[in-house]
Amino acid sequence: MTLEEVFFVSQTVAAVAVVASIVYLAREVRQSERVQRATMQQGRADRVSTAALAIAHPELAGIWMRGTSAEPNFTREELTQWMLICRSAFLSGEDSFLQHKAGLLDEAAFDSYVAGARYYMSTPGVRAAWILSSAQFGPDFRAFVDDLIAKSQFAASIDTFAAWQEKFKLEIHRQHP
């Protein structure tokens, strides 16, 4: 083999190695992006479930039920608790909104957030809390929530207990006709 042939073979091997390295790097970047998205989604799920469990405590559950009802009858202390519960929910929502805007939260997760927000934003207590709190958030998120409220059907009250009882009875009847 001549020196020239050795040179061409080595150049070909080097070119193949570069292409293989680029393919490997692209696969690693895609895998890293998937792991990052999964971690972001897990963090979002942890944040929301931790908040839900905190509100499940008897004192805050009563505040939540009255806050989403048509007539909350709050004391000043209870109103402070209600506003802090709502602020926590709004902050969580803003985080989901900003992650989605940055391309870090996929459409399915964002649609899940929007469905929940639309449900709660239909109640007068959450709407009133938003009106009082909205100046604390960025203009893009404010516009998003204001639009969500405008497009959400107003519900004077959400009686989850009555709805659950109805669904429970239907399920029992379905299993034991």
Average pLDDT value for the chain: 87
Comparing 111 with 51, the larger pLDDT belongs to 111
Q: How far apart are CA 22 and CA 124, in angstroms?
A: 55
Predicted local distance difference test score (pLDDT) of residue 157: 67
- Tens of pLDDT, residues 50-80: 888 888 898 899 999 888 886 778 999 999 9
Burial code (b: 16+ CB inside 10 Å, e: under 16) for 104-121 equals bbeeebbebbbeebeebb
Q: How far apart are CA 93 and CA 126, in angstroms?
A: 13
Q: How confident is the model at residue 36 (pLDDT cuts 50, 70, 90)?
A: confident
pTM for this model (two decimals)? 0.75
The count of other CB atoms within 10 Å of the CB of residue 84 is 13
Query: Within 10 A of 133 (CB to CB), how many other CB atoms are there?
Result: 17
Distance CA(98)–CA(128), nearest Å, equals 23
pLDDT in tens, 134-175: 999 999 999 999 999 998 887 766 677 888 899 999 998 888
Residue 122 has pLDDT above 80, yes or no: yes
